[in-house]
Amino acid sequence: MCTAICYRSNDSYFGRNLDLDRGYGEKVVITPRNYVIDMRCEKPIRSHYAMIGMATVVEDFPLYYEATNEKGLSMAALNFPENAVYGNFREGKDNVTPFEFIPWIVAQCACIEEVRSLLFKINLVHIHFSEQLPLSPLHWMISDKKCSIVVEPLREGLKIYEDPFEVLTNNPPFAFHQANVSHYMGLSAFPACSQFRESIPVENYSLGLGAWGLPGDFSSASRFIRALFVKENSVSERDEKSAVTQFFHILNSVAMPKGCVHTAGGFAYTRYGSCCNVDRGIYYYTTYGYMEPISIHMHDVDLNRSCLYTSEVKGI
Protein backbone atom coordinates (compact mmCIF):
# COMPACT_ATOMS: atom_id res chain seq x y z
CA MET A 1 0.00 0.00 0.00
CA CYS A 2 1.80 3.09 -1.24
CA THR A 3 1.28 6.49 -2.81
CA ALA A 4 3.50 8.18 -5.42
CA ILE A 5 3.19 11.77 -6.62
CA CYS A 6 4.89 14.32 -8.83
CA TYR A 7 4.78 17.98 -7.74
CA ARG A 8 5.79 20.92 -9.94
CA SER A 9 7.10 24.17 -8.50
CA ASN A 10 10.18 26.10 -9.70
CA ASP A 11 11.70 22.61 -9.95
CA SER A 12 10.06 19.20 -10.36
CA TYR A 13 9.74 16.85 -7.38
CA PHE A 14 9.00 13.13 -7.38
CA GLY A 15 8.49 10.83 -4.43
CA ARG A 16 6.33 8.41 -2.54
CA ASN A 17 5.17 6.90 0.72
CA LEU A 18 6.14 3.28 1.32
CA ASP A 19 3.43 1.58 3.39
CA LEU A 20 4.39 -1.90 4.59
CA ASP A 21 4.11 -4.04 7.70
CA ARG A 22 7.82 -4.91 7.77
CA GLY A 23 11.18 -3.67 6.59
CA TYR A 24 13.73 -5.16 4.22
CA GLY A 25 16.85 -3.25 5.19
CA GLU A 26 16.08 -0.16 3.13
CA LYS A 27 18.98 2.18 2.35
CA VAL A 28 19.45 5.27 0.23
CA VAL A 29 21.49 3.96 -2.70
CA ILE A 30 23.38 5.83 -5.41
CA THR A 31 24.21 3.74 -8.46
CA PRO A 32 27.10 5.45 -10.30
CA ARG A 33 27.49 5.48 -14.07
CA ASN A 34 29.99 2.63 -14.24
CA TYR A 35 28.39 0.21 -11.80
CA VAL A 36 27.67 -2.94 -13.81
CA ILE A 37 23.97 -3.78 -13.66
CA ASP A 38 23.84 -7.55 -14.15
CA MET A 39 20.63 -8.76 -15.79
CA ARG A 40 19.12 -12.24 -15.57
CA CYS A 41 18.25 -12.58 -19.27
CA GLU A 42 19.86 -9.59 -21.00
CA LYS A 43 23.44 -8.38 -21.35
CA PRO A 44 24.83 -6.41 -18.40
CA ILE A 45 24.42 -2.64 -18.52
CA ARG A 46 27.99 -1.39 -18.07
CA SER A 47 27.70 2.35 -18.69
CA HIS A 48 24.54 4.28 -17.92
CA TYR A 49 22.96 7.24 -16.16
CA ALA A 50 23.65 7.54 -12.45
CA MET A 51 20.62 7.19 -10.17
CA ILE A 52 19.58 7.70 -6.55
CA GLY A 53 16.70 6.27 -4.53
CA MET A 54 15.63 3.92 -1.78
CA ALA A 55 16.57 0.27 -2.23
CA THR A 56 17.33 -2.99 -0.53
CA VAL A 57 20.76 -4.20 -1.61
CA VAL A 58 21.02 -8.00 -1.93
CA GLU A 59 24.08 -9.69 -3.42
CA ASP A 60 25.29 -6.21 -4.44
CA PHE A 61 22.15 -5.64 -6.54
CA PRO A 62 19.99 -2.58 -5.70
CA LEU A 63 16.34 -3.59 -5.49
CA TYR A 64 14.94 -0.09 -5.90
CA TYR A 65 11.58 0.95 -4.49
CA GLU A 66 11.96 4.20 -6.45
CA ALA A 67 14.81 5.98 -8.20
CA THR A 68 15.66 9.18 -10.07
CA ASN A 69 18.50 9.48 -12.57
CA GLU A 70 20.82 12.39 -13.30
CA LYS A 71 18.62 13.47 -16.23
CA GLY A 72 15.55 13.82 -14.02
CA LEU A 73 13.69 10.66 -15.03
CA SER A 74 12.01 9.01 -12.03
CA MET A 75 10.26 5.70 -11.46
CA ALA A 76 8.44 4.15 -8.49
CA ALA A 77 7.11 0.63 -7.94
CA LEU A 78 3.82 0.19 -6.07
CA ASN A 79 2.02 -2.91 -4.89
CA PHE A 80 -0.48 -4.35 -7.39
CA PRO A 81 -1.74 -7.68 -5.98
CA GLU A 82 -4.23 -9.89 -7.81
CA ASN A 83 -3.67 -7.90 -11.01
CA ALA A 84 0.01 -8.09 -11.95
CA VAL A 85 0.73 -10.82 -14.51
CA TYR A 86 4.30 -11.60 -15.58
CA GLY A 87 5.15 -13.75 -18.58
CA ASN A 88 7.55 -16.44 -19.77
CA PHE A 89 10.75 -15.77 -21.70
CA ARG A 90 10.04 -14.55 -25.26
CA GLU A 91 12.49 -14.53 -28.13
CA GLY A 92 12.93 -11.16 -29.79
CA LYS A 93 11.95 -9.22 -26.67
CA ASP A 94 13.92 -7.51 -23.90
CA ASN A 95 13.28 -10.03 -21.14
CA VAL A 96 13.48 -8.08 -17.91
CA THR A 97 12.41 -9.29 -14.48
CA PRO A 98 10.17 -6.98 -12.45
CA PHE A 99 12.93 -6.46 -9.86
CA GLU A 100 15.22 -5.23 -12.66
CA PHE A 101 12.61 -2.99 -14.25
CA ILE A 102 13.48 0.25 -12.42
CA PRO A 103 17.25 0.12 -13.08
CA TRP A 104 16.61 -1.07 -16.66
CA ILE A 105 14.51 2.01 -17.44
CA VAL A 106 16.20 4.61 -15.26
CA ALA A 107 19.70 3.58 -16.36
CA GLN A 108 18.95 4.09 -20.05
CA CYS A 109 16.27 6.76 -20.44
CA ALA A 110 16.38 10.54 -20.08
CA CYS A 111 12.71 11.24 -20.83
CA ILE A 112 9.29 9.61 -21.22
CA GLU A 113 9.68 9.48 -25.01
CA GLU A 114 12.74 7.25 -24.59
CA VAL A 115 10.89 5.15 -22.00
CA ARG A 116 8.14 4.42 -24.50
CA SER A 117 10.65 3.09 -27.02
CA LEU A 118 11.98 0.63 -24.44
CA LEU A 119 8.52 -0.40 -23.26
CA PHE A 120 7.60 -1.35 -26.82
CA LYS A 121 10.25 -4.09 -26.69
CA ILE A 122 9.99 -5.24 -23.08
CA ASN A 123 8.69 -8.51 -21.68
CA LEU A 124 8.38 -8.63 -17.90
CA VAL A 125 9.49 -12.19 -17.26
CA HIS A 126 8.46 -14.27 -14.26
CA ILE A 127 11.80 -14.96 -12.57
CA HIS A 128 12.16 -14.63 -8.80
CA PHE A 129 15.20 -12.90 -7.36
CA SER A 130 15.66 -15.93 -5.08
CA GLU A 131 13.64 -18.45 -3.09
CA GLN A 132 13.82 -16.07 -0.14
CA LEU A 133 12.79 -13.06 -2.26
CA PRO A 134 9.96 -14.03 -4.61
CA LEU A 135 8.53 -11.50 -7.04
CA SER A 136 6.12 -8.86 -5.80
CA PRO A 137 3.03 -7.94 -7.86
CA LEU A 138 3.76 -4.39 -9.01
CA HIS A 139 2.79 -1.53 -11.26
CA TRP A 140 4.87 1.59 -11.85
CA MET A 141 4.68 5.37 -12.17
CA ILE A 142 7.32 6.97 -14.39
CA SER A 143 7.87 10.74 -14.65
CA ASP A 144 10.22 13.12 -16.38
CA LYS A 145 10.40 16.91 -16.00
CA LYS A 146 7.21 17.38 -18.04
CA CYS A 147 4.77 14.48 -17.63
CA SER A 148 4.01 11.08 -16.10
CA ILE A 149 2.83 7.66 -17.25
CA VAL A 150 1.67 4.48 -15.50
CA VAL A 151 2.75 1.00 -16.58
CA GLU A 152 0.69 -2.06 -15.60
CA PRO A 153 1.39 -5.73 -16.46
CA LEU A 154 -2.16 -7.01 -16.89
CA ARG A 155 -3.44 -10.36 -18.14
CA GLU A 156 -4.12 -8.89 -21.57
CA GLY A 157 -0.61 -7.45 -21.78
CA LEU A 158 1.48 -4.47 -20.74
CA LYS A 159 -0.70 -1.35 -20.50
CA ILE A 160 0.71 2.17 -20.66
CA TYR A 161 -1.45 5.05 -19.49
CA GLU A 162 -0.98 8.80 -19.60
CA ASP A 163 -1.18 10.04 -16.01
CA PRO A 164 -2.35 13.66 -16.05
CA PHE A 165 -3.00 13.45 -12.29
CA GLU A 166 0.65 12.57 -11.60
CA VAL A 167 -0.52 10.35 -8.74
CA LEU A 168 -0.52 6.58 -8.31
CA THR A 169 -1.62 4.29 -5.49
CA ASN A 170 -2.41 0.54 -5.57
CA ASN A 171 -5.37 -1.60 -6.68
CA PRO A 172 -7.66 -1.31 -8.59
CA PRO A 173 -5.98 -0.83 -11.99
CA PHE A 174 -5.29 2.71 -13.15
CA ALA A 175 -8.31 2.73 -15.47
CA PHE A 176 -10.52 2.59 -12.37
CA HIS A 177 -8.74 5.54 -10.76
CA GLN A 178 -9.12 7.54 -13.98
CA ALA A 179 -12.87 7.03 -13.94
CA ASN A 180 -13.21 7.44 -10.18
CA VAL A 181 -11.80 10.98 -10.26
CA SER A 182 -15.02 12.11 -11.96
CA HIS A 183 -16.99 11.34 -8.80
CA TYR A 184 -15.03 14.06 -6.98
CA MET A 185 -14.93 16.85 -9.55
CA GLY A 186 -17.09 19.03 -7.28
CA LEU A 187 -14.49 19.19 -4.50
CA SER A 188 -13.15 22.65 -3.82
CA ALA A 189 -10.78 24.44 -1.47
CA PHE A 190 -13.25 27.35 -1.48
CA PRO A 191 -16.38 27.59 0.70
CA ALA A 192 -19.26 25.42 -0.45
CA CYS A 193 -21.74 27.02 -2.83
CA SER A 194 -25.41 26.16 -2.37
CA GLN A 195 -27.26 24.75 -5.36
CA PHE A 196 -30.64 25.13 -3.62
CA ARG A 197 -32.88 28.09 -4.38
CA GLU A 198 -31.97 31.30 -2.58
CA SER A 199 -34.89 31.10 -0.16
CA ILE A 200 -33.52 27.93 1.46
CA PRO A 201 -31.28 29.06 4.34
CA VAL A 202 -27.91 27.27 4.27
CA GLU A 203 -24.50 28.52 5.32
CA ASN A 204 -20.88 27.47 5.59
CA TYR A 205 -20.78 26.70 9.31
CA SER A 206 -17.14 25.52 9.09
CA LEU A 207 -14.04 26.02 7.03
CA GLY A 208 -13.43 23.24 4.52
CA LEU A 209 -17.02 22.52 3.52
CA GLY A 210 -16.03 22.93 -0.12
CA ALA A 211 -14.16 19.63 0.27
CA TRP A 212 -17.15 17.85 1.79
CA GLY A 213 -17.01 14.22 0.64
CA LEU A 214 -13.22 14.06 0.36
CA PRO A 215 -12.50 10.45 1.38
CA GLY A 216 -10.53 9.99 4.58
CA ASP A 217 -9.93 6.24 4.79
CA PHE A 218 -6.70 4.43 3.90
CA SER A 219 -7.90 2.50 0.84
CA SER A 220 -5.93 3.00 -2.36
CA ALA A 221 -8.92 4.57 -4.11
CA SER A 222 -9.37 7.10 -1.30
CA ARG A 223 -5.66 7.87 -1.04
CA PHE A 224 -5.55 8.52 -4.78
CA ILE A 225 -8.31 11.14 -4.54
CA ARG A 226 -6.97 12.70 -1.36
CA ALA A 227 -3.42 12.95 -2.69
CA LEU A 228 -4.71 14.47 -5.94
CA PHE A 229 -6.90 17.04 -4.15
CA VAL A 230 -4.19 18.10 -1.71
CA LYS A 231 -1.50 18.25 -4.40
CA GLU A 232 -3.61 20.25 -6.84
CA ASN A 233 -4.52 22.76 -4.14
CA SER A 234 -1.06 23.02 -2.62
CA VAL A 235 0.59 26.42 -2.39
CA SER A 236 4.26 26.93 -1.56
CA GLU A 237 6.86 29.63 -1.90
CA ARG A 238 9.18 29.35 -4.89
CA ASP A 239 12.19 28.12 -2.95
CA GLU A 240 13.60 24.69 -2.19
CA LYS A 241 12.72 24.48 1.50
CA SER A 242 9.11 25.56 0.94
CA ALA A 243 8.59 23.15 -1.96
CA VAL A 244 10.10 20.18 -0.13
CA THR A 245 8.13 20.98 3.02
CA GLN A 246 4.93 21.17 0.98
CA PHE A 247 5.74 17.89 -0.74
CA PHE A 248 5.99 16.09 2.58
CA HIS A 249 2.75 17.70 3.77
CA ILE A 250 1.06 16.21 0.70
CA LEU A 251 2.50 12.78 1.52
CA ASN A 252 1.48 13.16 5.17
CA SER A 253 -2.13 13.69 4.08
CA VAL A 254 -2.19 10.04 2.93
CA ALA A 255 0.25 8.57 5.48
CA MET A 256 -0.74 5.56 7.60
CA PRO A 257 -0.21 5.66 11.37
CA LYS A 258 0.81 2.33 12.84
CA GLY A 259 -2.20 0.43 14.18
CA CYS A 260 -4.88 1.74 11.79
CA VAL A 261 -4.45 -0.87 9.04
CA HIS A 262 -4.22 -4.52 10.11
CA THR A 263 -2.47 -7.05 7.87
CA ALA A 264 -1.56 -10.72 8.18
CA GLY A 265 1.92 -9.60 9.21
CA GLY A 266 0.82 -7.01 11.77
CA PHE A 267 0.12 -3.40 10.80
CA ALA A 268 0.78 -1.59 7.54
CA TYR A 269 2.20 1.86 8.19
CA THR A 270 4.20 4.51 6.36
CA ARG A 271 7.78 3.37 6.87
CA TYR A 272 9.23 6.26 4.90
CA GLY A 273 8.35 9.11 2.60
CA SER A 274 10.67 10.34 -0.12
CA CYS A 275 10.97 13.49 -2.22
CA CYS A 276 13.57 14.00 -4.94
CA ASN A 277 14.30 17.31 -6.59
CA VAL A 278 14.78 15.77 -10.02
CA ASP A 279 16.34 18.92 -11.48
CA ARG A 280 19.14 19.02 -8.90
CA GLY A 281 19.51 15.38 -7.90
CA ILE A 282 18.74 16.01 -4.22
CA TYR A 283 16.99 13.10 -2.48
CA TYR A 284 15.08 13.80 0.74
CA TYR A 285 13.43 11.29 3.04
CA THR A 286 11.55 11.07 6.31
CA THR A 287 10.80 7.90 8.28
CA TYR A 288 8.17 6.83 10.75
CA GLY A 289 10.59 7.46 13.59
CA TYR A 290 12.23 10.60 12.20
CA MET A 291 10.03 13.25 10.62
CA GLU A 292 12.68 15.88 9.85
CA PRO A 293 13.68 15.57 6.16
CA ILE A 294 17.20 14.28 5.58
CA SER A 295 18.88 15.23 2.31
CA ILE A 296 21.44 13.38 0.20
CA HIS A 297 22.94 15.06 -2.89
CA MET A 298 23.66 12.69 -5.75
CA HIS A 299 26.20 15.05 -7.27
CA ASP A 300 28.24 15.25 -4.06
CA VAL A 301 29.82 11.86 -4.83
CA ASP A 302 31.95 10.51 -7.67
CA LEU A 303 29.36 9.40 -10.21
CA ASN A 304 31.97 7.74 -12.41
CA ARG A 305 33.02 5.00 -10.04
CA SER A 306 31.92 1.37 -10.34
CA CYS A 307 30.67 0.60 -6.80
CA LEU A 308 27.39 1.45 -5.12
CA TYR A 309 27.11 4.19 -2.53
CA THR A 310 24.79 3.27 0.35
CA SER A 311 23.56 5.35 3.25
CA GLU A 312 21.88 3.97 6.36
CA VAL A 313 18.35 5.26 6.89
CA LYS A 314 17.61 7.05 10.16
CA GLY A 315 14.58 6.15 12.26
CA ILE A 316 13.30 3.22 10.20
The catalytic site residues sit at 2
In whole angstroms, what is the distance from residue 316 CA to residue 314 CA? 6
Q: Which residues contact 278 (CB under 8 A, 6 or more apart)?
A: 11, 12, 13, 14, 68, 72, 73, 74, 143, 144, 145
Q: Which residues contact 36 (CB under 8 A, 6 or more apart)?
A: 44, 45, 46, 306
Continuous segment of H or E residues that includes residue 12: strand 12-20
Contact (CB, 8 A) for 206 and 191 = no
Return the C-alpha torsion angle 299, 301, 307, 313, nearest 10: -90
In whole angstroms, what is the distance from residue 244 CA to residue 239 CA? 9
